Amino acid sequence: MSGPALHLAVEIDGDGAHPAAWRRAAHAPDQLLAPRRAAGLAAVAENAGFTLVTLDDGVLPPGAAPDPVGRIGAVERAAFVAASTSTVGIAPVVPVTYAEPFHVSSQLASLDHISAGRAGWVVTEEEHPGAARVWGRPPVADAAGRARESGDGVEVARALWDSWEDDAVIRSVATSRYLDRDRLHYVDFTGETYAVKGPAIVPRPPQGQLVVLGRPDRVPAAQLDVALVEGRDPASVAAAAARAGTPRAFAEVEVALDTPDATGTERVAHLERYAPWADRGRLRYVGSAAGLVAVLDELSRQVDGVRLHPLVLDEDLPVLSRLVLPALSERRLTARPLPGTSLRSALGLERPANRFAAAAVQEETR
């Protein structure tokens, strides 16, 4: 674990974790796809002291009739959010089951430049066969195949982020050179289903490597900075975190809090009349803000952070901001990200050396 501070992340896609959350949303339906919706939620999270916001995504619509479906791409929303925030980390969900890792790495590197080093990447999978048809690709039907694509995709992205050394851009007026070509490198990756030569088309990200989050059973632990671990109770979460083998571990926690208008139990019951809140194997808390503070206090001894999935963002996020995060701060369980720091710094992660530059130094010292 990184220290006494419990890092808090919150998922801000759509209207909330429940598929019928839109029925309790405080905004007009046409605002769901407005970019300022995401920016407004991110601003609330930043002002509250969250370390990170995540933005879910997938190539297929996020639901089915009769519920409203649709979303703007997570990377596009993240770029918009990055321009209107200053301290909170921003991590879009980007599956690489079918997407080209070269393009994904370029998009994420650009996001890190836009955010001045506050970008992360949540790696997930495209499990529905319809996603393959959208991409015009053969379906990857088995779990092992999807895990292979995720692992290869992260490996390629990381190599491409290093394909420019930190001082590759020289901007020499005297020699009329913008780049030092000797500081650009081919990655020469050959996987089971594709090959990538490189180098990247975007300079190395400010963080060197973006913070990569994902499930350690889907992405090799060596490729992750933060493992997203699940479990229906704190003991199960603790066991999963101990097995993760990653620098940091975040627990996935779904929350439905008591509000001034209704209890968490009442709110869940109301939405269950329209659709079930699927059990995804995560710890789920329903109740008062004080009770959630106690749960997070317990989890702080087992994990480095928690990613919260609120039942309804418009109802739960204000309670989190007004009652939960201040109480955690009073107990000195959380630390607000400081202006001018990168996401890696906020999480206590070192900026990694460039693999190609490090290899050159080792060769010179032999």
pLDDT for residue 175: 85
pLDDT for residue 2: 46
Determine the residue type at 337. Answer: P
The residue whose two tokens read 């060596």 is 222
- Scored b (16 or more CB within 10 A) or e, 135-165 reads eeeebbeeeeebbbbbbbbbbbbbbbbbbbb
pLDDT for residue 217: 92
- Find the mean pLDDT for residues 34-42: 91
pLDDT for residue 363: 62
Helices and strands per DSSP (H, E), number in the chain: 12, 13
Q: How far apart are CA 254 and CA 249, in angstroms?
A: 16
Tell me the C-alpha to C-alpha distance, in Å, between residue 254 and each of 14, 241, 246: 15, 17, 22
Q: Which of residues 151 and 175 earns the better pLDDT score?
A: 151
Closest CA to 198 of 105, 121, 98: 105
Residue 365 confidence (pLDDT) above 90: no
User: What predicted TM-score, i.e. pTM, was given to this entire model?
Assistant: 0.94
Residue 42, C-beta contacts closer than 8 angstroms, at least 6 positions apart? 12, 53, 81, 84, 85, 88, 90
Question: Would you place residue 364 in the very low, low, confident or very high pLDDT band (cuts 50, 70, 90)?
Answer: low
pLDDT for residue 350: 96
CA angle 177, 182, 183 (to 5 degrees): 90
Residue 32 confidence (pLDDT) above 90: no
Q: Which of residues 186 and 33 earns the better pLDDT score?
A: 186
pLDDT for residue 358: 75
pLDDT for residue 60: 85
Helix (H) or strand (E) holding 78: helix 74-83
Residue-wise pLDDT tens digits, 266-303: 999 999 999 999 999 999 999 999 999 999 999 999 99
Asked, as a colleague might, if the bond just before 276 is cis with ω within 30 of 0, I would say no
For 208-276, the three-class secondary structure string (H helix, E strand, C coil) is: CCCEEEECCCCCCHHHCCEEEECCCCHHHHHHHHHHHCCCEEEEEEEEEECCCCCCHHHHHHHHHCCCC
- Find the mean pLDDT for residues 220-234: 97
- Find the mean pLDDT for residues 133-161: 94
Question: Would you place residue 119 in the very low, low, confident or very high pLDDT band (cuts 50, 70, 90)?
Answer: very high
What does pLDDT average to over the chain? 93
CB 75 within 8 A of CB 33: no
pLDDT for residue 65: 64
Q: How far apart are CA 2 and CA 52, in angstroms?
A: 16
Q: How far apart are CA 306 and CA 126, in angstroms?
A: 24
Question: Would you place residue 59 in the very low, low, confident or very high pLDDT band (cuts 50, 70, 90)?
Answer: confident
Residue 351 confidence (pLDDT) above 90: yes
Residue 334 confidence (pLDDT) above 80: yes
Query: Distance between terminal CA atoms of the chain?
Result: 36
Residue 232 confidence (pLDDT) above 80: yes
Question: Would you place residue 1 in the very low, low, confident or very high pLDDT band (cuts 50, 70, 90)?
Answer: very low
Residue-wise pLDDT tens digits, 62-78: 876 667 677 899 999 99
| Tally of CB atoms within 10 A around 243 | 14
CB 228 within 8 A of CB 365: no
CB 169 within 8 A of CB 178: yes
What would the two tokens of residue 80 be?
Answer: 């918009």
Indicate the range of 69-73, 253-257, 259-263, 314-318 predicted with least confidence: 69-73
Q: How far apart are CA 186 and CA 263, in angstroms?
A: 57
Determine the residue type at 309. Answer: H
Chain centre to alpha carbon of residue 181: 33
CB 136 within 8 A of CB 100: no
Q: How far apart are CA 226 and CA 233, in angstroms?
A: 20
Chain centre to alpha carbon of residue 329: 23
Tell me the C-alpha to C-alpha distance, in Å, between residue 136 and each of 58, 59, 80, 140, 170: 15, 12, 29, 12, 40
The residue whose two tokens read 């609330």 is 44
Residue-wise pLDDT tens digits, 154-182: 999 999 999 999 999 988 888 888 899 99
Residue 254 confidence (pLDDT) above 70: yes
